[in-house]
Structure 1
Amino acid sequence: MLLVGSFLLLFIGLIHSYLGEKYILIRLFKRNNLPKLLGSDWFTKRVLRFAWHLTTIAWWGFSAILYFLSNPSGNIHSEILVTITIVFALSGVISLVFSHGKHLSWLFFFGIACTSMFDVVYS
């Protein structure tokens, strides 16, 4: 059953990003009354876009964790921590790139990725 959940998370993540971009974000960004953060609505749009898609990345990470739990190996602790490392490293890259470093979440995402990887390497 966990494999079904894993597949559903992959699928819903894909649908979430595609349909959200097509039917919500693009339409929302056409409005002229978005809040102007840091002087313009550019930053607002970028943050909304990367936050929307970070949800998909998180769901895909949960999908991987469900997969590992459905097929446990002797090293499941490391597999889950590597998954967490990848999810948060990707989240950090997306946050850094989309906001040009102005949204400081990337610092925390990279911190989480590093501590997770540290535990894998030194455990």
Structure 2
Amino acid sequence: MTFLLYLAAALLILVSLVHSYLGERFILIRLFKRDNLPQLFGSSDFTIRTLRFAWHLTSIAWLGFAALLLALASPEFTPAMLLQIIAATFALHALLALILSRGKHWSWLLFAVVSGLLVMTAIR
């Protein structure tokens, strides 16, 4: 069973990296060259930033799932490990959303709160 968990985690890591790279190269960059993107907050900049971080959040989520599978494969597995991995995943979500949206997309705040709550739960 451990081998299967490692294999699944490796596949998730691979698909995450490929998704981000190919998505940027062949989808997002081409999409952003269009002149008919919605203009929110006065320009299409917010739309571009939101689409970019939303695209990459998927990859981060898959990396988080890979980390969960690796934790499950570990002989030292504890429920606290799962909480810590999920907290770290949502902390990365918050950071990416904050940076790429320049704080304009409020999802970063929700992700940060979720991460903080999970950290507090894990240390109890």
For residue 120 of structure 1, the aligned residue among 111, 119, 122 is: 122
Measured against aligned partners, the alpha-carbon deviations of 1:23-81 in whole angstroms (never above 9, x if no partner) come to: 000000000001111111000000000110111110000000011112242x5211111
Counterpart residue number, 1:87: 89
In the alignment, the residues of structure 1 paired with residue 78 and residue 13 of structure 2 have an alpha-carbon distance, to the nearest angstrom, of: 20
Is 2:7 the counterpart of 1:4? yes
For residue 32 of structure 2, the aligned residue among 29, 33, 51 is: 29
Structure 1 runs (4+) greater than 4 angstroms displaced: none
In the alignment, the residues of structure 2 paired with residue 56 and residue 72 of structure 1 have an alpha-carbon distance, to the nearest angstrom, of: 27
* TM-score with structure 2 setting the length: 0.94
Unaligned stretches of 5+ residues in structure 2: none
Letter in 2 for 1:51: A
* TM-score with structure 1 setting the length: 0.95
Q: Supply the RMSD in Å over aligned alpha carbons.
A: 0.9
Counterpart residue number, 1:98: 100
Letter in 1 for 2:85: T
Number of equivalences: 121
In the alignment, the residues of structure 2 paired with residue 53 and residue 76 of structure 1 have an alpha-carbon distance, to the nearest angstrom, of: 28
Q: SS of the residue aligned with 2:103?
A: coil
Measured against aligned partners, the alpha-carbon deviations of 1:77-123 in whole angstroms (never above 9, x if no partner) come to: 1111111111111110111111111100011000110010001112x
Unaligned stretches of 5+ residues in structure 1: none
For residue 63 of structure 2, the aligned residue among 53, 60, 65 is: 60
Letter in 1 for 2:30: R
